[in-house]
Amino acid sequence: MIIVERNWNMEQTLFEKIGDHMAKKEGYVGLKGMQAVHRYLIDKYGWQPEQVRNLSFDDLHILLAGYEEKPTTAWN
């Protein structure tokens, strides 16, 4: 049996990059990284901040799928 360990640091870094991109695209002044991801989800779905902060990385993958078609390496 092969057990695949998830690399949470890599996932955190991915969402930080997505959040930085979102902050620029959405005009979130003073927000970056996960703060911008959370703000985007609050704005889009009308959820409370606590609800958004409690989402797992799996949840975030589903919710943000297709957010941007560019590969994240182009988000510099």
Chain segment 13-66, per-residue pLDDT in tens: 888 999 999 999 999 999 999 999 999 999 999 999 999 999 998 899 899 887
In a domain, 28, yes or no: yes
- Torsion 63-68-69-75 (CA) sign: negative
Residue 5 has a pLDDT of: 53
Residue 74 has a pLDDT of: 55
In a domain, 35, yes or no: yes
Helical pair 8-26 and 33-45, crossing angle rounded to 10 deg: 60
Which has more confidence, 73 or 43? 43
- Report the number of distinct structural domains present in the chain: 1
In a domain, 2, yes or no: no
In a domain, 36, yes or no: yes
Domain encompassing residue 55: 8-74
In a domain, 3, yes or no: no
Residue 70 has a pLDDT of: 56
